[in-house]
Structure 1
Amino acid sequence: MPKIALFSGGSACRSINMALARKGLDITRIVPAWDSGGSSKTIRQSFDILSVGDIRQALMTMAHGEGRAGDVVKVCNTRLSDGADPRDAFCEFEFYAEGRHPLLERMSPGLRAAILNYLNLFRSRAGENFDYRNGSIGNFILTGAYLAHNKDINTAIFVFRKICGIAGNVWPASLQNDIELRAVLNNGKQLPQQHLITTMGEADSAAGIERIALIAGKASAGIAANGAVVEAVQKADLIVFGPGSFYTSILPHLLIDGVAEAVAGNIRAGKVFVGNILQCRETRGCDLADLLGSFAATWRKRTGGTAVPLTHVVANRQFLPFEKRLGSTPYVPNGAIREMCADLGAELLLGEYEDAWQRGQHDGEAVADILTGLLPA
């Protein structure tokens, strides 16, 4: 089957991922390993593990796209209550870990035993003070598999995929557990973690991001790419960047040792940049040409000035000569996109890619049709 490697965000890529999965393609999602917020933060701090939230979310997206939304996927997609009393969330977790949930009771004995084994291993290692509130059962299972298999996240993902019956691959960009994403704003202010960047206030958003960096712990040493990611990129028939949060989910991948080299080395694959439809706090005031310019500048700096290998840019057509908004969020203007594409030597694929029913989101089928049309015959 044709192979597609997607460097993407979470929810922004969901509809496209699902549409591609329905086409029966061999898909690999490459997700960030530096999420520092949400319930993943608690697990990351407690178990010295990279963030599993983006991995689990991408696996669930893959499962739904493949039509595998059965009992196992429903359990893995469950999130515990977020009440005031943490004991309530723990009791809810116990309901799953003891196998009393009806969805678990009707599973095959072997499958049920595997899930309970991972949940109980998680519980035994988490300790009495772990806060289960708003936690994902899938995150707990994936972390339990990580602990059971010598703290090898790739093996844990493989096992999790087998439990859910998922065909597609999802790999974190790096296997290092201590990666932090940092941003420096145009006013000199530093935001030292990913969740601080995605939730920046109005003043910081207005200042804008000057540059980002990935830091392994307190050192600035290089960060090695996940070998599974390098292999997926090398074998891909099409490599896609986006959609997703540009400065936290897309651009940082170029900062990992081995990623840009693998992308550049696969000379037969098309390389596509899919532009976002809406701005976010990270990209306030930026147009698509600006973001492509940042992508190109980061690529050239990372590779010593080699040509940016993008072959196509997918951009949403804009009909209005004035700013359009969805609530308080502006749409991403295209800016001088034609000139930027000409400068990069990339073909501009301008079309109507917004979902007619989910405003501000991509029409997954429309974008998937464009991407599959770029695959070799």
Structure 2
Amino acid sequence: MNRIVMFGGGSGSRDITIALSQAGWDVTRIVPAWDSGGSSKALRESLGILAMGDIRQALMTLAHGEGRLSNVVRYFNARLSENPDPTALRAEFAFYVRGAHPLLRTLPPEVRRAIVDYLGVFEACIGPDFDLCRGSIGNFVLTGAYLAHQRDINRAILVFRALCGIGGHVWPSTTDDAVELVADLRDGRQVRRQDHVTRLSGEQARTGIERVHLHGERGRAPQANPTALEAIGRADVIAFGPGSFFTSTLAHLAVDGIARALAAVPDVPKVFIANILQCPETIDRSAADLLQAFDQGGGAGLLSHALVNRGWVPFERMAHGQRYLSEGESLLHQAERLHLLVDDFEDPWQRGRHDAQKVEMTLGHIADPASEPTASAMMWL
């Protein structure tokens, strides 16, 4: 069984994670702990904790890939409504806390009791002004476990995995609570907080990101999660992306200890999986530009392979309001230092998304070069 470690966010690598799990890979996802938007925003601002959203999403993706579509997984995927009435939201939340949800009644008593206990811990720690709107029940349970186990996120994840029966692993690259992502733009301006960087204005996006870094407590770089470092040391393949390039992929290299751990396993293939489409973080960038940014962001000399979607036609294309990521005129120069695989990696049925099965087969070929390539059309450069 091949062991793969994937650096990215909670949802960017969802389809590929599912394909790897279904193909029997031993999957470890390493996700950011600095998300500052969505449900994680309210949790972080109220409780001063690391972000739970990407952790929970990656765990739910593994559950889906492993066929763990149990009632507990369905329960953890539930969200509170968008009701603007705080009193109504509190009543809805209380329905979950007291264990009245019908799905809980189908679970073994010890599982049901653990879930209700963790929700009770969470409820006791939030104040009356906590914003419950669209709150993720899975995030609430994971946070309750985190608080119940003396703020040990690794322990909380193990408990959450056990409740769902998940075999794969998910670890944040750092266990530090107070981590903020900061992006330096090319004109010298800074954009603080992950949710602001992922939603750059049109003018900021055109200016472009020069680099990203992380601020931990007292301005120091956050320290690497020892469990994530152990996973890197055991991996057969390490993948970066797809997903938000600067905030969910490259930023991991700003965690103190991650780049050193990657450099310490030189014989393990390290694969960059380029996005199919641009995003606000990568407007007017090519795959070649992103590989250069990876080097400049602390990853110089780390990558061994890059998977890049081939542009079949000589004109600009768009999907879902975003331009396709081009290969870049300088991409061929990258072949001097790493293996490039330029191929049609787009899902034929879902524009702008990866053909997850094809990517999985390609990663299998990289892990075991003696295996058959994915398709006759692929081009190693």
Distance 2:330 2:234 in 1: 30
What's the CA shift string for 1:2-30, capped at 9, x where partnerless? 21000012322000000001112111100
Residue identity opposite 2:291 in structure 1:
L
SS state at 1:353 partner = coil
SS state at 1:362 partner = coil
**Change in CA separation of 1:220 and 1:340 when aligned onto 2, cut-off 3 Å:** farther
Aligned to 2:365: 373
Residue identity opposite 1:314 in structure 2:
L
8 Å CA contact retained: 1:288, 1:337: no
Distance 1:156 1:318 in 2: 44
Percent identity of paired positions between Structure 1 and Structure 2:
48
* Residue 333 (structure 2) pairs with residue 333 (structure 1): no
8 Å CA contact retained: 1:299, 1:308: no
8 Å CA contact retained: 2:178, 2:216: yes
Aligned to 1:347: 339
Q: What are the equivalent positions in structure 2 for 1:1-377 lying under 5 Å apart?
A: 1-217=1-217, 219-299=218-298, 308-336=301-329, 338-343=331-336, 345-376=337-368
Aligned to 2:373: none
Aligned to 1:304: none
What's the CA shift string for 1:82-138, capped at 9, x where partnerless? 121122222111111111111011111111001000011111111322221110000
Distance 1:20 1:337 in 2: 31
**Change in CA separation of 1:182 and 1:206 when aligned onto 2, cut-off 3 Å:** same
Q: CA deviation at 1:338?
A: 3.7
Q: CA deviation at 1:337?
A: 5.2
Aligned to 2:378: none
Aligned Cα RMSD in Å? Answer: 1.3
Residue identity opposite 2:328 in structure 1:
G
Q: Give the TM-score taking structure 1 as reference length.
A: 0.95
Residue identity opposite 2:283 in structure 1:
R
Q: Give the TM-score taking structure 2 as reference length.
A: 0.94
Distance 2:186 2:363 in 1: 35
8 Å CA contact retained: 1:270, 1:374: yes
Residue identity opposite 1:315 in structure 2:
V
Residue identity opposite 2:364 in structure 1:
T
Superposed structure 1 runs of 4+ greater than 3 Å apart: none
8 Å CA contact retained: 1:12, 1:361: no
Aligned to 2:375: none
Distance 2:183 2:127 in 1: 34
Distance 2:257 2:133 in 1: 37
5+ unaligned residues in a row in structure 1: which ranges?
A: 301-306
Q: CA deviation at 1:267?
A: 2.3
8 Å CA contact retained: 2:77, 2:136: yes
Alignment coverage as a number of residue pairs: 369
Distance 2:31 2:175 in 1: 11
Q: CA deviation at 1:297?
A: 1.8
Aligned to 1:303: none
Distance 2:230 2:187 in 1: 39
